Amino acid sequence: MDSELKNELILCSIKSHKEIKKSTVAVNFISNLFLSSATGRIADDFIISLTKDNLYIEAYWYTTWGGLPDKLYTEKFSRNQIQEFEVRNEEENEIIEITPSGKKKMVFIRYNKDGDNLGQLMKKLFHEEF
C-alpha cells in the first residue's frame, strides 16, 4: 500500500483490472520502443482502497512479455469528489464504475470467482455516512 494510506483505516480493498485492447498494447509497444527504454509497459492491474474519507486507486505496470509488477501511480480522491460509484454483476465479474468530479468515468473489472461480492460491499460502504 502507498505511504499515504499508513495513517488511514482501510474499510475495503479490492484488486481489479481494466480491459486492455490488443490495439492499445500494440500502440503502447511502438511508442515506448521509440520513447523509452522500458518498452511495452502497460497498466492493467489496479487496487481500489476505500477509507473513511478517501478513495485510492493504485495502478500497476507489467511488461507485455510477462514482467514483474511495478507501481505506476496512486490517485487519491476525497469521497465527496466522487460523483458516481456503481457496481454491477456480469457473469463471474463485478463491473465497477467510478466517476470523479471533472474526470471521465473509470471502469474496472473484478473477477468475482468466489462469489464474495467485494465490489458490492465496497459500494455499500462508500454510500454509508461515517
pLDDT for 34-66, tens place per residue?
Answer: 555 554 455 679 999 999 999 999 998 766 566
What are the grid coordinates assigned to 100, written together?
470523479
Arithmetic mean of pLDDT, 66-77: 82
Per-residue pLDDT tens over the stretch 76-104: 999 999 999 999 999 999 999 999 999 99
Rounded-to-10 torsion of CA 98, 45, 22, 120: -40
Q: How far is CA 18 from CA 15, 35, 54, 67, 117, in A?
A: 11, 24, 21, 18, 18
Say which DSSP state 31 is in. H
* Exposure string over 16-38, b if 16+ CB within 10 A, otherwise e: beeeeeeeeeeebeeebeeeeee
**Per-residue pLDDT, 64:** 58
pLDDT of residue 31: 55
Give the Cα separation of 106 and 22 in Å (integer). 19
The domain defined by 3-127 folds into PH-domain like (2.30.29)
